[in-house]
Amino acid sequence: MAGKVFAVLVILITLATAYCVMAHVWWMPVDVSVHGPKIDRQIEETVLVAGLLFIAGQLVLAAFAFLYGGIGRKPRQIPGGAKPLIIFAFVLVGTEILALSFIGSKAWGSVYFEAPDPASMRVDVQAGQFAYYFRYPGPDGKFGSLHPDLINEGNQNYFGLDTDHDPDAKDDVVTAELAIPVNKPILITLHSKDVGHSFYVRELRIQQDFVPGLNIPIHFTATQTGRFEIVCTQLCGLGHYNMKAYLSVLSQADFENWLKKQASMQ
Amino acid sequence: MLSDQRSDLKGGDVNVTQSAIPSLGQHEVLMEASPYGIEKKKLGMWVFIVSDACTFGAFLFAYGYMRVGNPVWGTPFGVGSVVNGVVMTAVLLSSSFTMLAAVRASQTGAKPSTKKWLGITMLLGTIFAALHLKEWFSLIGEGWRLFYNPTGGAAQFGATFFSVTGLHLTHVVTGVIALAFIARGYNLGRYDESHVETAGLYWHFVDLVWMFVFPLMYLMNAH
Amino acid sequence: MPATSAHAAVHHGPPQGFIRKYVFSVDHKVIGIQYTTLSVVAAFIGMALSWAFRIHLGWPDAHIPLLGMLSKNGAPGGLMTPEYYLSLVTMHGTIMAFFVLTAAPMAGYGNYMLPIQVGAADMAFPRLNMASFWVTFVGFLLACATFFIPDGPPLSGWTAYAPLSAVGEVAGPGQGWGQNLWGLSIAIFCVASLLGALNFIVTTLDLRTKGMTMSRLPISTWAWFINAWVSLLAFAVLLPTCLLLVLDRLGGTSFFIPGGLVINDQMQPHSGGSPLLFQHLFWFFGHPEVYIIILPAFGIVSHIIPTFIRKPLVGGWKVITWAMVAIGTLSFIVWGHHMFVSGMSPYMAMVFSVPTLFITIPSVIATMVWLFSLYRANIRFDTPMLFSLGFISLFITGGIGGFFLAQPSTDSYLHATTFVVGHFHFTMGLSAIFGAFAGFYYWFPKMFGRMMNEKLGKVHFWLSFPLVYCVFMTMHLTGFAGAVRRYSALVDDFMAPLIPTNRFISVAALLLGATQFIFLFNAIWSRFRGPEAPNNPWGGTTLEWDTTSPPPFDNFGGRQITVYHGPMEYDGEASVMQTAPPAAVAGT
Q: Which domain holds residue C548?
A: 24-256+271-585
Is the Cβ pair A237, C172 closer than 8 Å? yes
User: Could you say which of C4, C202, C255 has the minimum Cβ distance to residue B30?
Assistant: C4
Alpha-carbon Rg for chain C, nearest whole angstrom, is 24
Quick check: helix, strand or coil at residue A125?
strand
In the stretch 201-240 of chain A, residues with CB closer than 8 A to chain C read 202, 205-214, 216, 229, 231-240
Confidence at C7, pLDDT banded by 50, 70, 90:
low
Q: Report the distance separating Cα A99 and Cα A92, nearest Å.
A: 11
What ranges do the domains of chain B cover?
Answer: 39-69+76-221
Is the Cβ pair C263, A229 closer than 8 Å? no
- CA quadruple A155, A157, A160, A162: dihedral sign: negative
CATH code of the domain containing C155: 1.20.210.10
Q: Report the distance separating Cα A230 and Cα A248, nearest Å.
A: 10
CA distances from C328 to A85, B165, C280, C500 (A): 20, 32, 19, 40
Q: Report the distance separating Cα C529 and Cα C88, nearest Å.
A: 36
pLDDT at site B11: 33
Of A248, B66, B94, A235, the closest CA to residue C271 belongs to B66
- Chain C residue closest in CA terms to A3: C381
Write phi, then psi, for C56 (nearest 5 degrees). -60, -40
pLDDT at site A126: 97
Q: Give yes or no: residues A136 and A242 share one domain.
A: yes
Supply the pTM of this predicted model.
0.94
User: Could you say which of B17, B32, B39 has the minimum Cβ distance to residue C588?
Assistant: B17
The residue with greater pLDDT, A81 or C395, is C395
Phi-psi region of A163 (alpha: psi -120 to 50; beta: other; left: phi over 0): alpha
Q: Report the distance separating Cα B47 and Cα B37, nearest Å.
A: 15
Mean local confidence (pLDDT), B13-36: 51
pLDDT at site C282: 98
Of A258, A261, A250, the closest CA to residue A186 belongs to A250
pLDDT in tens, A40-88: 999 999 999 999 999 999 999 999 999 999 888 888 889 998 999 999 9
Alpha-carbon Rg for chain A, nearest whole angstrom, is 26
Give the mutation candidate from A49, A112, A192 for the C interface (greatest C CB count, under 10 A). Answer: A112
Q: Which chains touch A (3 or more CB pairs under 8 A)?
A: C
Residue C12 pLDDT more than 90? no
pLDDT in tens, C21-69: 888 999 999 999 999 999 999 999 999 999 999 999 999 999 999 999 9
Q: Note the residue count of chain C.
A: 588
Q: Which chains touch B (3 or more CB pairs under 8 A)?
A: C
CATH code of the domain containing A223: 2.60.40.420
CA distances from C535 to B198, C437, C548 (A): 40, 20, 5
pLDDT in tens, A235-249: 999 999 999 999 999
Task: Name the burial class of residue B112, with classes exposed (0-12), middle (13-18) and buried (19+) by CB atoms within 10 angstroms of its CB.
Answer: exposed
Write phi, then psi, for C47 (nearest 5 degrees). -65, -45
Q: Give yes or no: residues A100 and A136 share one domain.
A: no
Å between B94 CA and nearest CA of chain C: 29
User: Could you say which of B47, B59, B156 has the minimum Cβ distance to residue C272?
Assistant: B156
pLDDT in tens, C234-268: 999 999 999 999 999 999 999 999 999 999 889 99
The CB density around residue C131, as the number of other CB atoms within 10 Å, is 19
The mean pLDDT of chain B is 86
Query: Which amino acid is located at B216 in the chain?
Result: L
Q: Give yes or no: residues A56 and A83 share one domain.
A: yes
Strands C266-267 and C262-263: antiparallel
Is the Cβ pair B59, C1 closer than 8 Å? no
Q: Does C548 touch chain B (CB under 8 A)?
A: no
Split into its structural domains, chain A has a count of 2
List residues bridging with A216 in a β-sheet.
A190
pLDDT in tens, C66-110: 999 999 999 999 999 999 999 999 999 999 999 999 999 999 999
Q: Give yes or no: residues A128 and A252 share one domain.
A: yes
User: Could you say which of A75, A211, A241 has the minimum Cβ distance to residue C310?
Assistant: A75
Q: Report the distance separating Cα C250 and Cα C175, nearest Å.
A: 12
Å between A254 CA and nearest CA of chain C: 24
pLDDT at site A169: 92
pLDDT at site C15: 80
Residue B36 pLDDT more than 80? no
User: Could you say which of C82, C275, C412 has the minimum Cβ distance to residue A211?
Assistant: C275
Confidence at B223, pLDDT banded by 50, 70, 90:
confident
CATH of segment(s) B39-69+76-221: 1.20.120.80
Å between A97 CA and nearest CA of chain C: 6
Q: Report the distance separating Cα A203 and Cα C1, nearest Å.
A: 68
Q: Does C584 touch chain B (CB under 8 A)?
A: yes
Residue C160 pLDDT more than 60? yes
Is the Cβ pair C119, B17 closer than 8 Å? no
pLDDT at site C22: 86
Confidence at C586, pLDDT banded by 50, 70, 90:
low
Over pLDDT 70: what percentage of chain C?
97
Assign 3-class secondary structure to C412-457: HHHCCEHHHHHHHHHHHHHHHHHHHHHHHHHHHHHHHCECCCHHHH
Split into its structural domains, chain C has a count of 1
Mean local confidence (pLDDT), B92-99: 97
The mean pLDDT of chain C is 94
The CB density around residue C557, as the number of other CB atoms within 10 Å, is 11
Å between C461 CA and nearest CA of chain B: 19
Assign 3-class secondary structure to chain B: CCCCECCCCCCCCCCECCCCCCCCCCCEEEEECCHHHCCHHHHHHHHHHHHHHHHHHHHHHHHHHHHHHCCCCCCCECHHHHHHHHHHHHHHHHHHHHHHHHHHHHHCCCHHHHHHHHHHHHHHHHHHHHHHHHHHHHHHHHCCECCECCCCCCCHHHHHHHHHHHHHHHHHHHHHHHHHHHHHHHHHCCCCHHHHHHHHHHHHHHHHHHHHHHHHHHHHHEC
Confidence at C582, pLDDT banded by 50, 70, 90:
confident
Q: Give yes or no: residues A66 and A158 share one domain.
A: no
- The answer to which of A91-100, C328-337, C430-439, C445-454 has the lowest mean pLDDT is A91-100
Å between C522 CA and nearest CA of chain B: 18
In the stretch 170-189 of chain A, residues with CB closer than 8 A to chain C read none
Q: Which domain holds residue A108?
A: 2-70+77-112
Å between A186 CA and nearest CA of chain C: 19
Give the mutation candidate from B1, B27, B47 for the C interface (greatest C CB count, under 10 A). Answer: B47
Q: Report the distance separating Cα B200 and Cα B117, nearest Å.
A: 11
What is the Cβ-side half-sphere exposure of residue A117, based on CA atoms within 13 angstroms?
13
Is the Cβ pair A75, C171 closer than 8 Å? no
